[in-house]
Structure 1
Amino acid sequence: MTKQLLLFAFTIISVFNLNAQELEKSLLWEISGNGLTESSYVYGTIHMTCDATLDEDVLKALDDTKLLVLEIDMDDPSMQMSMMKGIYMKEGKTIKDLVTEEEYLTISKFVKEQMGMPLDAMGNIKPFFITAMFYPKLLGCPVQSFEEELMKIAHEQEEEVLGLETVEEQLNVFDEIPYEDQATDLLRSAKDNLATDKASFQKLMELYDNEDIEGMILMMDEDKNLSTTKHKDKMLDNRNKNWISKISDHANKQPTFFGVGAAHLAGDNGIIKLLREAGYTVKASN
């Protein structure tokens, strides 16, 4: 559950944080040139879905590569323990420290109705992760994961699974963003009982199914007050920049399949543009 919780938390980024750049309708992109002898691929995932069936072009790219690299190494046996250490706020902070008494009662009622649990039992968990607990409810179906499907193929092909960053590095993002801002997002979800979240996620899924990266990008203008938008540099830009050298290292050693959240692909600080600036040819693969 903790592994899924981290993916759900980063689904928030996919829903609300995308930056503008003209790109073709594609989730799968081929990386070549700049000294590479064989192509690698980067694939934009969505971290929770009703149907994680992989298209034929994705399966072919997996077959043509020798290593799977995700945002984090989801095969790491220590991942669960690392996550449990990182989901709690630092310095003894609790939700009560971040909101008014009236706001706390609103959130508490929401959590009780949605989860059947008292907020006091999870009050020291980072607000983003409390919000993430409700995201499976946006689907209305059993949750499936593209990352799990990618790993299944990698295991069948007896290939290693690695990560572009550690669990600790991902979790640190949620310490860099003020807890107060995270609590504001949680309060909004509580006040309208996930109505805004459901509408945004439904729109995102339609765009994702159409591989419409440009359409997804336009969503960011709809909610500039959301903390993930205000702190996009921490959620996306800085991580993308840190990944480029790692993507290059892996691709130069062997043809590699990279699976990252679709929000990381586009934009001025997106992986596609950054790889092109680094000298690679990156083109839509379907």
Structure 2
Amino acid sequence: MARRWLSALITSPLLLGLAACQSEPPQTAGQSAAAEAQIATLPDDPDPALWVLKDDDTTIYLFGTVHILKPGLLWFDEAIKDAFDESDELVVEMIEPDPAAMMKIVGDLAIDKSGVSLRDKLNTEDRAAYEAAMTSLDLPVNAFDPLDPWFASVSMSLVPLVKNGYDPNSGVEDALTGSAKSRNMKIIGLETPEQQLGFFDNLPEDVQIRFLNFNVNSIGDMAAGMENMVAHWANANIAALAELMNAGLEEKILYDTLLSNRNANWAEWVDQRMDQPGTVFMAVGAGHLAGDASLQAQLAKRGFRTKRIKY
């Protein structure tokens, strides 16, 4: 299961909750984000948003994904399936490594090297809240002591999702890569696992601890928040997704690390790929295709016009 958690941990929309971990108290940031986002209902027929970029001999479809879902959600049909079937290449954020490589990456980047226990990095009040949250999840309070705060935080945040029926093996990328492999399609990763882990491992420790404290205070709302996010994704509510997934990125280090720089890099990749003929299905986290700093906005700066496919 650890291998499958890599995509969920690193590219999960939950990680954009890091954006709320600014200088204000974590619970205030969480309440602010929740207040702004409307509540959605999961439709009987999910139709997530899809865009296309074309020139005379190149077509690139842009599809926003959710990296961890409940089994049985039927989204891979209609225009999405048609676009995928037309494509020669699948592009995803990251190609998952084999289990041995995964464990080495985690050991190198996610395990604390300072010799200071995770709980010993927390002040008295935050430590008490953290230990209470771990107990509420039926986890030993010392389970994540050897880990960096960011990795402990995202690991903790996935537990209530799994308990509520979400499956790291049921994400959008799993379905797409499985279908691509069955067709012997070329599969390209925009980033390496080391890069994606490094985005968070390189954050200052105080930012990582704010992230941890935010998730501790939000642990009881994780499952409901994920339900709402998936419903907005399934309804193609792009503006609501932008609020939920990209709100609060005013802190420059978070904005640049998680969103702006990555979208700019991906726009450069698309720009270069448009010089080659073929049809590409590009699937990245839905938060990257929503908001003012979206991949589409970055492409527009380069003179490209993406079109929303209505279906």
| Alignment TM-score, normalising by the size of structure 1 | 0.82
2-side partners of 1:252 and 1:84: how far apart?
Answer: 39
Q: In 2, distance between residues paired with 1:211 and 1:124?
A: 40
Count of matched residue pairs: 274
Asked if the contact 2:89–2:279 (Cα under 8 Å) also holds between the matched residues in 1, the reply is yes
2:241 to 206, 216, 220: 216
1:145-180 CA-partner distances (Å, limit 9, x unpaired): 100000011011111222111111111111232232
CA apart distance, 1:275: 1.4
Partner of 1:263: 287
* Cα distance, 1:181–1:243 mapped onto 2, change above 3 Å: same
Q: Which amino acid aligns with 2:8?
A: F
Q: 1:124 maps to what in 2?
A: 146
Unaligned residue ranges in structure 1 (runs of 5+): 19-24
Deviation, 1:238, is 0.9
The equivalent of 2:66 in structure 1 is 46
Match of 1:21 in 2: none
> SS in structure 2 opposite 1:177?
coil
Residues 278 and 255 of structure 1: CA distance in aligned 2, closer, same or farther (over 3 Å): same
Q: 1-side partners of 2:244 and 2:269: how far apart?
A: 29
Q: 1:5 to 1:158 in 2, by over 3 A?
A: same
Contact 1:89 1:124 in 2 (8 A): yes
Alpha-carbon separation, structure 2, partners of 1:275 and 1:86: 32
Percent identity at matched positions?
A: 24
Q: Distance in 1 between matches of 2:113 and 2:146?
A: 9
User: Where does residue 77 of structure 2 map in the other structure?
Assistant: 55
Give structure 1 regions of 4+ aligned residues with deviation exceeding 6 angstroms: 226-230
Q: Report if the CA contact (8 A) 1:73-1:162 is conserved.
A: yes
For residue 234 of structure 1, what is the aligned residue in structure 2? Answer: 257
Aligned-pair RMSD on alpha carbons? 3.0
Distance 1:95 1:7 in 2: 23
Aligned-pair distance for 1:71? Answer: 0.5
Residues 32 and 42 of structure 1, relative CA distance in 2, 3 Å threshold: same
Give the 5 Å matches for 1:132-211: 132-133=154-155, 134-138=157-161, 140-143=164-167, 144-191=170-217, 194-211=219-236
| Cα separation, 2, equivalents of 1:90 and 1:178 | 15
- The normalised TM-score by structure 2 is 0.76
8 A Cα contact 1:220 1:229, kept in partner? no
Q: Cα gap change, 1:172/1:145 in structure 2, threshold over 3 Å: closer, same or farther?
A: same
Task: State the SS of the aligned residue for 1:231.
Answer: helix
SS of 1:171's equivalent? helix
Correspondent of 1:245 among 256, 264, 268: 268
Aligned 8 A contact 2:48 2:236 in 1: yes
In structure 2, distance between residues paired with 1:215 and 1:75: 33
Conservation of the 8 A alpha-carbon contact between 1:31 and 1:282 = yes
Name the amino acid aligned to 1:279: G
Match of 1:37 in 2: 57
Return the letter of the residue paired with 1:45.
Answer: T
Shift of 1:29: 0.9
- The secondary structure found in structure 1 opposite 2:306 is strand
Q: Structure 1 residues 142 and 265 mapped into 2: Cα distance closer, same or farther (>3 Å)?
A: closer
